[in-house]
Chains A and B, each alone.
Chain A
Amino acid sequence: MARPQLSETRTTFVMIACLIAGVAIGIASMTVIFPLAPTELSRTGVLMYALHHRSDAPPVIVLGNSVVMNGVDAHRLGNGQSAWNFSSTGQELSESMLIVDALPRSVHTVAIGISPETVARNQTTMPPNKYVGYVMGGYSPSPDAIAVAKRLHDQTLYKLLRTNRVRVVMWSRWVVRAMADLLARRFLRKDLDLERARTDLYFPAPYTQPVSAAALEHLVAANYSDYRQRFVAQSDPAALLKGIKDLAAARGKRVIFFVTPEHPQRRMRSSAEFYAEFAQWENKARAEGLDIVDFHDALEAADFVDHIHPGGHGTTRLTELLDLNLKRAGS
């Protein structure tokens, strides 16, 4: 005897239920996929794991973006293994704050790489995708860090830090696409050492070989089309710098901000007024208690592997300069 057919509407609702169940499976699978997925930002998970599980955290931590990844060899800072380079790709100032917030007691000095744009751009938050990396790596913002974000005029970072965990897990799905893109990067840039960029706690430099002259010309044209005429400091990033310093000081840590070197092509596309105004801001910030050293013109064109990243002699030089300043600061 033929079994009775479900009505079309009922079957459709069964299909909808299956779709919802599929979404639920997708959400549940993220807690497994996320830690395993190799992406450009999975370094965040590696850093969080080291902070939470390793007992040999050194006294000095260096933070910043890929300029610091490529430009500071922490092996050569201080006495051998006395520093970690916890910089990461496109690390925002707000990310640096999260890392400072998660540092163990043994760390007493933090060096953070910044640029004039850190203060000139009114940007104090980070893309939600990045925040996901920290939370999925075990980070939970402290009330102190939340208080720093709350004091900012722009409340985006504050809202991000207050996001509930379920939503963060939902956001974490971006790693699926990001995995695919990492494969592309591996294919397109065989010269990049991406595994080292992901896991190395001392010198995670991904950019190992200088780009061709034609590529450099293209990168300069594409990235430095804006001529930097004037420097105008924004209040929120400046407040965030101070917030990071205070957050660290409350835990007995010292913060040194260092202005990362700029390619001469970048400097040529900036006016003298721009740097003069930036220097004025630096002096004002120093007077307000921030420890800032400026290396923006420390390197020559030959010291860079491309339009942004130091390499070879450039790395040696920047590391030496940073080391000297850390020693002066007593670290």
Chain B
Amino acid sequence: MLFHTVTFIIFFAITVTMLLLLRQHSTQKNVLLVASMIFYMWWNPAFILLIAYSAVIDYFVALRLERTEGTGARRGLLLISLITNLGLLAFFKYAGFFEHNLLYAFRAFGYKPNWADLHIILPVGISFYTFQTLSYTIDVYRRQIKAVHSFRDLALFVMFFPQLVAGPIVRASDFLPQLERPTKMKFDRQSLFLFMRGLVKKALIADGVSMFADAIFKNPSGWSSAVIWLASICFYVQIYCDFSGYSDMAIAVARMLGYELTLNFNRPYFATNPSNFWRRWHISLSTWLRDYLYIPLGGNRAGTWKAMRNLMLTMLIGGFWHGASWNFVLWGGLHGLALVVHRGWRHVTEGARPALDRSRLYHLVSLLAMQYFVVLTWIPFRVLRTDHMLYALKKFVFFDGNLHLADMGLGALSTFSTLVMLVVFFTLHVYANHVGGIENQLARMRPLPAAILCLLMGAVIFLFWPTVDAPFIYFQF
């Protein structure tokens, strides 16, 4: 069920009506849990059993962890949770990948095994809810939070439908306390306009520019550097609007239901260095990786080389989290390398830092260099076939100077509407950065102008909404 469909609006209206009718806090949580299960089962009913299985294991593991004192026993309990959750993730997401790689390895040594391909369906949202439920048991193990005694509350934390399939990855320490206090639904303009912001990002901009990127990257061979650049910028805009649009809608829907989710994006395309980028992009994942992987690996406490190793490892695993393909590992590796280089650069320029921080030119060059790198690294993320990826990377890095676009068959690829959407995106992006969030500004408007604006927005959204609903990119992760 997609947020930007009529089905979801009907589902949401029914859920809200039920919550308004059934005022008792406990009953409301039951309603939310049932609604969350229906939301997930809409895609494939059978896979609800996987989430339920994870939740049951983690529920009992956490309760035992709370009562257990011995370090060895506590480690054993944590291991049960890790094996259960990561085992399911490994099987459903990575088994096919390992099988293919094993097959390549066998072939390299001249052995040709005759086994059938594994055709495993990837359960929607498995990467997200696995990390979410893992954070719960790890936090209980670290005694940072107490175990939940209500299974219903834990199940609701894992399955809460606004963030179930594509995040933000919510921490138990942030969400579980919210289940303790009575729900106070927030139907305010800020939530409404946040949802509209997400809708515009997804339905108008991301889906609007995706057609061009898809058409070029389906087979980039033969296209000039100018076309590859345009397609790369389209994907750069598409993936941000698609994913952050989903997050905006998820946060808005949760807020309407009375729950606060963590911020997932903070204008990452204004980042001026890799470290800054990862503090702004997919914040819930990057902080998860920091707290549950980078720091336990030693973080930056054990010297420069180990800190760099830890950074690389964290980013390689973060890349692999996105998908079972070497492309995502490469993408993560490139970002890891950028973080390492940036750390080195900061070390080298430490003395000149105050002057550099004051320099507008340095800031501008940093911004352009960082965004060039981000666009470049989206190519291996988007173009999965190796020969196509290498061709696109070559054309992107070594500009061929061919600006001839006239009769290359671009006319049929929604070129102009794509360019219009790019201009709309960059204008809104810069403006939003300037005013500190368009939805906040809209929420402060007087009712009459705001109502007129809503009327116009309704018409514009309808007219520019593509007739085919595209799924969210991050659903595949």
Contacts and interface: CB of A to CB of B under 8 A. Distances in A.
A221 B222 contact: yes
B447 interface: yes
B443 to A, nearest CB: 9
Nearest to A219: B409
Interface string A1-20: 00000101101111110111
Interface stretch (B186-194, B295-303, B365-373): B186-194
B222 A21 contact: no
A183 interface: yes
A180 interface: yes
Contacts of B456: 22
Contact of B420 (A13, A23, A180, A214): A180
Contacts of A6: 447
B417 A180 contact: yes
B407 interface: yes
Interface stretch (B150-158, B375-383, B458-466): B458-466
B17 interface: no
Given A184-B411, A191-B407, A174 B458 contact: no
A197 to B, nearest CB: 12
B359 interface: no
B221 interface: yes
B459 to A, nearest CB: 4
B407 A215 contact: yes
Contacts of B95: none
A153 interface: no
Interface residues of A, number: 52
Interface stretch (A24-32, A110-118, A266-274, A315-323): A24-32
Nearest to B454: A18
A29 B447 contact: no
Q: What is the predominant secondary structure among interface residues of chain B facing chain A? A: helix
Query: Which residue among B219, B412, B459 has the maximum number of chain A CB atoms within 10 Å of its CB?
Result: B459
Given A23-B461, A29-B459, A184-B416, A15 B192 contact: yes
A281 interface: no
Interface string B427-457: 0000000000000000000010011101111
B16 to A, nearest CB: 12
Contacts of B187: 8-9, 12-13
A225 B439 CA distance: 48
B464 A177 contact: yes
A218 interface: yes
B408 A183 contact: no
A79 interface: no
Most buried by B among A12, A40, A191: A12
17 contacts: A13-B187, A18-B452, A19-B457, A22-B454, A40-B412, A174-B466, A178-B417, A181-B415, A184-B411, A185-B411, A189-B407, A212-B407, A214-B404, A218-B409, A219-B407, A222-B219, A222-B221
Given A19-B455, A29-B463, 5 more contacts: A11-B189, A22-B461, A25-B455, A189-B407, A191-B407
